[in-house]
Amino acid sequence: MTQLLDKPLESKAPPSPAERTAHRRAFLEWIAIHSMGVAAALFFTLPFLFVFLTSLMSDSQALSRDLIPHTWEWDNYRRVFDTPGFLTWWRNTLFYAVLGTALTVISSIPVAYALAKFRFRGRSLALMLVISMMMLPPQVIIIPMYLFWAKQLDLSGTLWPLIIPMAFGDAFSIFLLRQFLTTIPDEYLDAAKVDGCGDLRTLLKVVLPMAKPGIAAVALFQFFYAWNDYFGPQIYASENPGAWTLSYGLESFKGAHHTDWNLTMAATVLVMAPVILVFFFAQKAFVEGVTLTGVKG
């Protein structure tokens, strides 16, 4: 604000009336734009704030219409952690998210590389199929998939039906990585070939180091996907509370603490917090990834 106000004053010659109106208009525009910005910021942040404030209310106050806690009950968070199962859900979610992300990245890189840099017949068809897979609602194929995992492999009640497919390439990750890899100039690959590198060595030694931002974006998206996934755990893990994830367990938490909005909101904060923390550490990679495709969400 000060910067903007200072600028007009810096000019040495006394401002002409025309200049003065221009400055005044610029200043009014600044005010208008930034008030709109503040209004929008309130819309985006107040829900977080209300949820957080309610999570600190006492049981009785949470039932009232108050916005601000009379007493700050930090103990609510301990009570959430003490809920049977809550820590198991955390562990399961981390397991699913970390292992799933690792498998996705490892299996998607070679596929994305081939689609980006190899010339072969059927390449555009393969790319079209990848995009179709990416756009496919998971519910379309869930009946045969469930029968396959539950009846043939007897894996229902675990998260394996969600993790194992990630070892075979994830369409969205392949697509995003392919978009990224096509931006790497072919000259680097040719130079590696002249130096006697095979395809695998070229990929590992030349391409991967250059593709780090793309890989980071893919890993983040996949981590968030697993963290947020509700439908998958609902289908495969619902029968076994020992395999529930946070997103799935949170809802049953609400059921068990029917009217305790304070505890439910504390649990909600605990589910949101890790994602937001990860975002703050990896903001750049994330925003880059969104601009790269802007599809998953």
Partner 1 sequence: MSTVKTVNTASTYTLRAKHRRSTLRTLAFLSPWLIGFSVFFAYPLISTVYFSFMHYDGFKPPVWSGTKNWTYVFEHYPFFWPALRNTLWLVLVMVTLRVAFGLGVGLLITKIKTGTGVFRTFFYLPYLAPPVAATMAFAFLLNPGTGPVNSILEKTGLPAPGWFNDPAWSKPALTLLALWGIGDLMVIFMAALLDVPKEQYEAAELDGATPWQRFRYVTLPNISPIVMFAVVTGVIQTMQYYTQPLIAGKVASGVIQGAGTQFEPGYPDKSTLTLPQLVYNLGFQRFDYGSACVVALVLFALSMAFTALLMRRKGGLIQAGER
Per CB under 8 A, which of residues 37..56 are in contact with partner 1?
37, 40-41, 43-45, 47-48, 50-51, 54
By CB under 8 A, residue 283 contacts partner 1: yes
* Stretch binding partner 1 (CB under 8 A), from 83-91, 189-197, 208-216, 272-280: 272-280
**Can you tell me which of 56, 62, 217, 237 binds partner 1, judged by CB under 8 A?**
62
* Stretch binding partner 1 (CB under 8 A), from 74-82, 94-102, 209-217, 241-249: 241-249
Q: Report how far Cα 278 is from the mean position of its chain's Cα atoms.
A: 9
How far is residue 254 from each of residues 80, 93, 261, 266, 295, measured CA to CA in Å?
A: 11, 18, 8, 11, 31
Site for partner 1 in 79-118 (CB under 8 A): 107-108, 110-111, 113-115, 118
CA-wise closest residue to 211 among 290, 283, 116: 116
How far is residue 36 from each of residues 27, 30, 44, 46, measured CA to CA in Å?
A: 14, 10, 12, 15
Dist CA 208 CA 191 (whole Å)? 15
Give the shortest CB-209-to-partner 1 separation in angstroms.
18
Give the shortest CB-58-to-partner 1 separation in angstroms.
14
DSSP letter (8 states) at residue 159 = S
Nearer to partner 1, 87 or 147 (CB): 147
**Can you tell me which of 14, 17, 196, 255 binds partner 1, judged by CB under 8 A?**
255
**Can you tell me which of 145, 184, 208, 216 binds partner 1, judged by CB under 8 A?**
145
Residue 49, burial from CB neighbour count under 10 angstroms (0-12, 13-18, 19+): exposed
